[in-house]
């Protein structure tokens, strides 16, 4: 990959410092999508050779773009273009797919697993189910415009979904069809650091910051309909709450 295709070399006789000239070249390459969101830029060594400048100049240029939030460094992996953040409002109970589509993005999933079985003690406690109740479990990686966004682990009581195979792109769409989509939910959030396994699935580095979101959804009659645990990338997702005074 080269960022200098069709781009003039840096002007050594220009009074503008070389690191600022290189910053502009990189900034333009990002805005023109010569380097796509979540894609690595060339290494410092490659940039130094391509633009005939020192590694110190390259590092200073990159430091500035990291400070601007356009680039991010991942230990052991390189420097990557920061994907535009997605904002999620607390005020509406919606699915990941609905959130992405409403923002003009294309959602998709990669399945890790789907299975059925008797509820575990932990699931029974979260969902208020009796021992032995049948549940369906769904584990997948969620993407937006081909950028990994989150790991999602959902447990759904079998009285909401007669067959786990009816879930395709959207879990909530499947629940809609059976008339068991949650009408209210409780959510809690906390900051986490991704484990090595989680990081590998998301294509980030172990220890990178993430946002853990746990949701319990309920039907209109008060029965539990969903227990979902999601791990969102901290560099790609923002949660927004609108607060009003009484």
CATH code for position 58: 1.10.10.10
Residue 156, pLDDT > 90, answer yes
When pLDDT is cut at 50, 70 and 90, the band that residue 193 belongs to is: very high
pLDDT of residue 243: 53
Give me the domain span that covers residue 28. Answer: 18-81
Please report whether residue 5 resides in a domain: no
Map residue 229 onto helix, strand or coil. Answer: strand
pTM of the model: 0.66
E strands present in 60-196? 71-74, 78-81, 86-89, 107-118, 134-144, 147-157, 184-193
The Cα-based distances of 23 to 17, 38, 214 in angstroms read 10, 18, 40
Residue 40, pLDDT > 70, answer yes
Task: Give the chain's mean pLDDT.
Answer: 86
Q: Residues 120, 221: one domain?
A: yes
Please report whether residue 210 resides in a domain: yes
Residue 2, pLDDT > 90, answer no
Please report whether residue 13 resides in a domain: no
**The total number of structural domains that make up the chain:** 2
Element (H, E) at 216: strand 209-218
Boundary residue ending a domain (81, 100, 115): 81
Q: Residues 28, 121: one domain?
A: no
pLDDT of residue 135: 97
Q: Which CATH number fits the domain that encloses residue 99?
A: 3.40.1410.10
When pLDDT is cut at 50, 70 and 90, the band that residue 242 belongs to is: low
pLDDT of residue 6: 42
Q: Residues 42, 73: one domain?
A: yes
pLDDT of residue 115: 94
Span 196-225, pLDDT tens digits: 999 999 988 899 999 999 999 999 888 999
Span 61-97, pLDDT tens digits: 999 888 888 888 888 888 988 877 665 555 567 888 8
Q: Residues 218, 98: one domain?
A: yes
First to last CA, the chain: 56
When pLDDT is cut at 50, 70 and 90, the band that residue 17 belongs to is: confident
Please report whether residue 11 resides in a domain: no
Q: Residues 57, 170: one domain?
A: no
Span 109-145, pLDDT tens digits: 999 999 999 999 999 998 999 999 999 999 999 998 8
The Cα-based distances of 28 to 35, 67, 241 in angstroms read 10, 16, 33
2-6, 46-50, 135-139: segment of lowest average pLDDT: 2-6
């Amino acid at each position: 990959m080269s960022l200098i295709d069709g781009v003039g070399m840096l002007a050594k006789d220009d009074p503008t410092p070389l690191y600022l000239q290189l910053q502009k070249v990189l900034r333009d390459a990002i805005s023109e999508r010569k380097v796509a969101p979540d894609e690595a830029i060339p290494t410092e060594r490659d940039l130094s050779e391509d633009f005939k400048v020192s590694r110190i100049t390259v590092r200073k240029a990159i430091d500035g773009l990291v400070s601007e939030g356009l680039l991010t460094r991942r230990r052991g992996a390189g420097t990557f273009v920061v994907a535009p953040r997605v904002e999620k409002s607390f005020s509406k109970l919606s699915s990941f797919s609905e959130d992405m589509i409403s923002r003009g993005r294309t959602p998709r999933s990669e399945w890790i697993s789907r299975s059925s079985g008797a509820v575990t003690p932990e699931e029974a406690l979260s969902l208020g189910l009796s021992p032995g109740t049948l549940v369906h479990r769904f584990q997948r990686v969620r993407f937006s415009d081909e950028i990994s966004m989150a790991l999602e682990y959902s447990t759904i009581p079998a009285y909401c979904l007669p067959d786990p195979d009816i879930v395709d792109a959207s879990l909530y769409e499947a629940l809609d069809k059976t008339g068991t989509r949650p009408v209210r939910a409780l959510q809690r959030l906390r900051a986490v650091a991704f484990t090595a396994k989680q990081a590998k699935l998301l294509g980030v580095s172990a220890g990178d910051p993430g946002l853990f979101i746990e949701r319990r959804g309920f039907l209109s009659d008060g029965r539990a309909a969903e227990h979902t645990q999601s791990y969102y990338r901290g560099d790609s997702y923002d949660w927004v709450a609108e607060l009003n005074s009484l």
